[in-house]
Amino acid sequence: MNPEDFRELFPALRSTVWLDTPGAPPGAEPVTEALHEVLSAWSTGAFDWLEWDAAAAEARTLFARLIGVDPATVSTLGSLAEAAATIAGSLPPGRIVVAAEEFRSNLFPWLARHDVVTIPARDGGTQVEDLIAALDDRTVLLAVSEVTSREGQRLDLPALRDATDRVGARLFVNLTQSLGALRFDMAAVRPDHLAVHGYKWLLCPRGAAWLVTRPDLLDELTPLAPNWKSTGPPHGYFGGPMRLAGDASRCDASPAWFSWIGACAALRLLGSLDALRVERHCLDLARHLTEQAGDVGLRRVVSGPLSQIVVLRSDHADRISVRLREHGVRATALGDRVRFGFHYFNNEDDVRTTLSALR
């Protein structure tokens, strides 16, 4: 599917330049149609809750195919914070290293443990060399986001993998702000744990998230909230004993059905796209905005490799946000910066409209 055909699936784009996918994207028609069907069936009583309940397992398989892993290594959860908290509660003793300016869902679950080292931002963002310098033989895990929410910074994950290998630490990677727009090289990064909440670049309803765990670490996984899904199929309802499933499904949350039905529709849509073409398209648009924003005196808050999220520094971010809204552009003001995000549905006209507003 080319970008123009993909764009047609988003009715909101007929009246709005949507550059706020780092917050949340507009609904894609295949996803909203699936949810309308669910609501209609719920309203009329023409539904089978067992069919609804099967959606999380289907989404597990679709997600595993998208990222190239065995479905048995994938847990279905409700949020990134649940995924991080699950790993925090399953780790052996040791220090955890995390950036001080991380998004709180990938920060607070680690801070709930006692031995955590937070790395301050420097030169506008988190520096890979600072994370690496903090690692030592006491470190049990490094937690990072491939693309940071506040800076749009794309971290060098292979370099971080090499560094954690040198000290025998694990690597937890949050892909919430990248997967769906950027490709992820599982073989190059080899994360011990990988998590993503699907409500941003994966175009899912909020409430569908995934946690991938290295196969040899599955046995140590401890469910954050053991429930009727923890024993694996066939699922029982009453009485004990509690025998945890032998795969990652032992950490499944009890599913919010509608979220998972929407997630299945979203993943089927994304699975039909050429991931390399999507990434090139998103990065080209980000590059064009970055280069041309310099003509009006706006610069990225960080240097280094581009992601699909462009964050420009300004002392007038709130005023710029109002002006963008007047031009039909959705973006986010974050204190001294303005954040723009490019998905496959965006185009050069979106860049031109945004630059016109900035001027």
Strands 74-77, 116-119: parallel, antiparallel or unpaired by DSSP? unpaired
Domain-wise residue ranges, the chain: 3-27+274-358, 49-271
Query: Which residues contact residue 314 at a Cβ distance below 8 angstroms, ignoring those fewer than 6 apart?
Result: 298, 320, 336, 337, 338
Spatial CA neighbour of 80 closest among 127, 27, 144: 144
Long-range contacts of 315-320 (CB under 8 A, 24+ apart): 320/357, 320/358
| Rg, the chain, Cα only | 21
Is the pLDDT score of 88 beyond 80? yes
- Domain covering 49-271, topology: Aspartate Aminotransferase; domain 2 (3.40.640)
* CA 276 to centroid of chain Cα atoms: 18
Q: What is the pLDDT of residues 301-354, one digit of tens each?
A: 999 999 999 999 999 999 999 999 999 999 999 889 999 999 999 999 999 999
The pLDDT tens digits of the residues spanning 16-70 come to 999 999 999 999 999 999 999 999 999 999 999 999 999 999 999 999 999 999 9
Per the rule left: phi > 0, alpha: psi between -120 and 50, beta: everything else, 256 is beta
Q: Which residues are bridge partners to 225 per DSSP?
A: none
d(CA 79, CA 281): 28
* pTM, to two decimals: 0.96
Distance from the Cα of residue 178 to its chain's centroid: 6
Q: How confident is the model at residue 235 (pLDDT cuts 50, 70, 90)?
A: confident
Q: For residue 143, give both structure tokens.
A: 């937690």
Superfamily of structural domain 3-27+274-358:
Aspartate Aminotransferase, domain 1 (3.90.1150.10)
Using pLDDT thresholds of 50, 70 and 90, give the confidence band for residue 114.
Answer: confident
Strands, E, within the chain: which ranges?
A: 17-18, 74-77, 95-99, 116-119, 139-145, 170-174, 193-197, 209-213, 309-313, 329-330, 332-333, 337-341
User: To 10 degrees, what angle do helices 348-358 and 317-326 make?
Assistant: 120
What mean pLDDT do residues 184-204 have? 97
Cβ neighbours of 233 (radius 10 Å)? 9
Pairing label, strands 329-330, 193-197: unpaired
